[in-house]
Amino acid sequence: MSDIYRLAKPRKKGLLSLVFSRFFVIALLIVLQVLMYIFFYGWLSTWLPYFSVFITLFTVAGVVYLFNSSMDSSAKLTWMFIIALLPLPGAVFLFFTQRSVGNRALTHRVNELIQQTRDAIPQPEGVLDALEKDVSGTDDLVRYLNRSGCVPAYVNTEVTYFPIGEDKFEAMLEALGSAKKFIFMEYFIIEEGYMWGKILEILVEKAAAGVDVRVMYDGMCEMSTLPPNYSGLLKEKGIKARAFSPIRPVVSTHYNYRDHRKILVIDGEVAFNGGVNLADEYINRIERFGHWKDTAVMLRGEAVRTFTLLFLQMWNILEKEPQFEPWLSEGGCAPEHPSGFVIPYGTCPLDGKHVGELVYMDILNRATKYVHIMTPYLILDGELETALRYAAERGVDVRLILPGIPDKVAAYSLAKSHYRRLVASGVRIYEYTPGFVHAKVFVSDDQKAVVGTINLDYRSLYHHFECATYMYKTACIPDIERDFRQTLTKCREVTDESIRGEKAAYKLMGSLMKFIAPLM
């Protein structure tokens, strides 16, 4: 990569640079605020006889709130444990997080934008009628997605499946090079390196040629993979850019909601979605956890409009006067080889609907032959674990592929804590021996598939902005199942014997971490 496209200066390494880094300073300030709260609680404890009635009433209020809340049973148990351990601070923390303290403005703004765009993309005529004639029940899911997120189903769309990040990267470069009107990019992770450098070179060239180029990335990047105010560096190159929810030195629940989406839209004609972020490990340019297995899809046709809408909804959060036209009316022409039904959709952690989990459960509950899954994490609530076990126990071939080399020991231990019950119910679990699986894929009965950004963990299902592509009877579904089968040949199967022989450290960590799994 040419140095001209490494916009940030190389970071110095060493203890001194760490101490004066933005991450350290912000973390220190947040820790100091937490210590102040602890000190206040300690001071209050000296007056405990006078406040015991108040503490009891406040704790009871927290418990009553829990029993009447809509959160899943696993999360309720976690909060009960916290309140029992620390009555007053536990109850305060519960109300602080669950009553949206610190992110009410964000909640209001997101809901406002969703309401403004409810009728922005009407359901194409004839699609629901065609689905109603089918006996798969997909029409019910389409109605649910349309009501919950105002996203329609499409038929005039062609979907290409990429079984590895390198293939998606090459297709991205080709599509970016053909951009004439606009380029919209929304990614959870951007990191300077070969992959981002090649993309950035095209973006700068297109921006100079008058193409509307916009880049949005999650604010956590400026704590880890990018320097502070990286958006300003991009703007100097003619690229409109912004970070979603950048981290500030203030305790807030606002930071709990991250933009985990991966969206690229070009001219309203082409869209990319999947698990691949913009960093070198995603295309195996560098090795972090062995071979990196990831997947993505490319859409051509009418369904691209939904990804344009999803991007603009997030982009307009900071706009005083949000604009959606003319971009929603751009492109969307029928491709040469459309097939099946395509429903792109997004999830919002602020609406309480848990769309991502419900789509997965719908596939599990309606499957008759098989459900094959690839996921980097397996941190399940009671409902999703029950759906997996029930599908297997009624004879459906349920198989999961997880990483053989984990990126997070805690998440790996929690995944293993589910193995015994799932395997006992007939679910077959495999670990990818060459490295790390980052793909988020469901494929079922040679008819249905989901490829997107939604992991099987609490963060993706409850706390992140996510997106995915639901497909029914599209031509690429056999490609997805073929890729799953080929990936199986590089995996080891988890058995009763291997579970019994698991390291005691993993078993202990998994058991202990289950108490706080819903908060992870």
**Residue extents of the structural domains in the chain:** 15-98, 104-138+151-341, 355-519
| Predicted pLDDT of residue 27 | 61
Take residue 335 and report the two structure tokens written for it: 């491709």
240-244 and 212-218 as β-strands: parallel, antiparallel, unpaired?
Answer: parallel
User: Which pLDDT belongs to residue 453?
Assistant: 99
Which range, of 44-48, 354-358, 436-440, averages the lowest pLDDT?
44-48
Averaged pLDDT for residues 330-342: 77
Could you read off the pLDDT of 501-516 as tens digits, one per residue? Answer: 888 888 888 888 777 7
Q: What is the pLDDT of residue 30?
A: 57
pLDDT recorded at residue 1? 44
3-state secondary structure 90-118: HHHHHHHHHCCCCCHHHHHHHHHHHHHCC
pLDDT bin (cut points 50, 70, 90) of residue 339 is confident
Cβ atoms of residues 287 and 165 within 8 Å: no
Stretch 83-100: mean pLDDT: 73
pLDDT band at 4 (very low <50, low <70, confident <90, very high): very low
pLDDT(408) > 80? yes
Q: Above 60 in pLDDT, residue 5?
A: no
Q: Which of 14-28, 231-245, 310-324 has the highest mean pLDDT?
A: 231-245
The 8-class DSSP code of residue 226 comes to S
Residue with more model confidence, 352 or 348 = 348
Q: Which of 138, 484, 452 is nearest to 307 (CA)?
A: 452
Q: Average pLDDT in the 115-130 region?
A: 82
Q: Band of the pLDDT at 161, cuts 50, 70, 90?
A: very high
Q: Which residues pair with 265 in a beta bridge?
A: 184, 271
The overall average pLDDT reported for the chain is: 86
Alpha carbons within 13 A on the beta-carbon side of 489: 4
CA dihedral over 316, 319, 325, 327, signed as positive or negative: negative
Q: What is the pLDDT of residue 60?
A: 81
Q: Dump the DSSP string for 170-194.
A: HHHHHHHHT-SSEEEEEES-B-TTH
Q: Minimum mean pLDDT among 230-239, 317-326, 384-393: which range? A: 317-326
Mean pLDDT of the region 316-320: 83
The whole-number pLDDT of residue 331 equals: 61
- Cα 169 from Cα 282, distance rounded (Å): 9
The predicted model gives 193-218 an average pLDDT of 97
pLDDT for 441 equals 99
CATH of domain 355-519: 3.30.870.10
pLDDT at residue 368 tops 50: yes
Asked if residue 93 has pLDDT above 70, the reply is yes
Residue 116 pLDDT more than 90? Answer: no
- For residue 473, the model assigns a pLDDT of 95
Q: Lowest mean pLDDT of 249-258, 371-380, 416-425, 504-513, name the range.
A: 249-258
Q: Which of 298-302, 354-358, 510-514, 515-519 has the lowest mean pLDDT?
A: 515-519
| Cβ atoms within 10 Å of 11's Cβ, excluding its own | 9
Q: If you average pLDDT over residues 338-359, what whole number do you get?
A: 91
Mean of pLDDT values over 193-222: 96
The mean pLDDT of 107-125, rounded to a whole number, is 80
Spatial separation of the C-alpha atoms in residues 516 and 520, rounded to whole Å: 7
CA-CA distance, 123 to 303, in Å (whole number)? 11
pLDDT band at 2 (very low <50, low <70, confident <90, very high): very low
Residue 270 CA to residue 67 CA, distance in Å, equals 46
What does the alpha-carbon distance between residue 42 and residue 48 come to, in Å, rounded to a whole number? Answer: 10
pLDDT tens-digit profile of 396-405?
A: 999 999 999 9
- One of 3.30.870.10, 3.50.50.60, 1.10.10.10, 3.50.20.10 is the CATH number of 104-138+151-341, namely 3.30.870.10
Least confident of 134-143, 261-270, 289-298: 134-143
Range of lowest pLDDT (68-77, 92-101, 360-369):
92-101
Domains 104-138+151-341 and 355-519 equal at CATH topology level: yes
Q: What is the mean pLDDT of residues 423-446?
A: 98
The DSSP symbol for 456 reads B
Highest mean pLDDT, choosing among 10-14, 273-277, 339-343: 273-277
CA 422 to chain centre: 24
User: In degrees rounded to 5, what are phi and psi of residue 241?
Assistant: -150, 150
pLDDT above 50 for 254: yes
Q: What is the pLDDT of residue 20?
A: 46
Q: Predicted confidence band at 377 (pLDDT cuts at 50, 70, 90)?
A: very high
Distance between CA atoms of residues 516 and 260, nearest Å: 21
Distance (Å, whole) CA 171 – CA 386: 39
Q: Shortest CA distance to 437 belongs to which of 485, 405, 469, 466? A: 405
Confidence check: pLDDT of 263 > 90:
yes
Q: Name the residue with tokens 């998994």.
A: 510
The better pLDDT of the pair 90, 380 is held by 380
Task: Taking residues 116-125, report their average pLDDT.
Answer: 80
- Which residues, at least 6 apart from 344, have a Cβ–Cβ distance to it below 8 Å? 151, 271, 273, 299, 303, 306, 307, 310, 467, 468, 469, 470
